[in-house]
A = this chain, B = another copy of it.
Amino acid sequence: MKKVLRSVLVPLISIGLVGLIWQLVVVGFHVQSYVAPKPLDAVNAVFSNWGILWPLVLGTIRETVYGFLVGAVLGVVLGVVMAKIEIIRRLLYPLLVLSQAVPIIALASPLVLILGFSVAPKIVIVAWIVFFPVTVNVVDGLTHVDQDLLNLARVYGASSWRTFTQIELPAVSTPLFSGLKIGATYAVGGAIIAELVGSTGSSLAYYQEHASSNLQTAAVYGTTLVMTVIGIGWFLLVAGLEILLTPWQRRTTARRRRVASPSGSH
């Protein structure tokens, strides 16, 4: 309980401190409101325009979720294939690094041209960002699974599939989730860049761009806050999923204790 309190309280204190510093800078240096808003004005700009913002936020979330799922699945599949087949690993690894050295912004325009203004290019961009840490971590994890554990499975004649689901998959859960958390954090940034290159109707990125060109700095900063909150929320969701799916990392006993001692003793 105390631990939970602390793990919620401390981040809140940190965020509070950032808000305070921001407020002090704006007030202390007499920053004009069309240069940078006060933190509360930025928050206010979000709430007072929530009716307009909400559908845009939903749109961005949708892109992020789809892109994340595609990226995660692709990342895992690619990771497994690369871990299992050495020639593929050798051929694809340089391309993996290459893929991340391509500036996302330079990638977005051609993608839109090819895929149109639908949600597709956004999904591709988000997936492009998400798959990389997932693949790298899965490859790394799978190639470092304890060889003796794998031998144990072989000794008892386990099939490759059971070896995979019973040994290899759980063994890579930690690096896999690390990769997913990294991907989750950066996913929104990718979606925003893709939105800027073209959306039918409005988008969160365009809303911000528009506010920016109209000198509505409170709305600009407010939108940034919203984007950040989506990113953090997505990160926390994945982190929560990890806690749920890997109970052995934090607990000493399984949640549902089975009825023990069928012999009736003690």
Question: A interface vs B, CB < 8 Å?
Answer: 6, 10-11, 13-15, 17-18, 35-36, 90-92, 94-95, 97-98, 100-107, 109-110, 113-114, 185-186, 188-189, 192-193, 196, 205, 208, 212, 217, 220-221, 223-224, 227-228, 231-232, 235
Contacts and interface: CB of A to CB of B under 8 A. Distances in A.
23 contacts: A6-B90, A11-B94, A13-B91, A14-B91, A14-B92, A15-B98, A17-B91, A35-B113, A97-B232, A98-B228, A100-B186, A101-B185, A101-B227, A102-B224, A102-B227, A103-B189, A103-B228, A105-B189, A105-B205, A106-B192, A106-B220, A107-B224, A110-B221
Contacts of A94: 10-11, 14-15
Nearest to A113: B35
| Copies assembled | 2
Q: At the interface, is chain A mostly helix, strand, loop or mixed?
A: helix
B10 A103 contact: no
Contacts of A185: 97, 100-101
A101 B188 contact: yes
Given A97-B232, A220-B109, A232-B97, A103 B11 contact: no
A220 B101 contact: no
Nearest to A29: B114
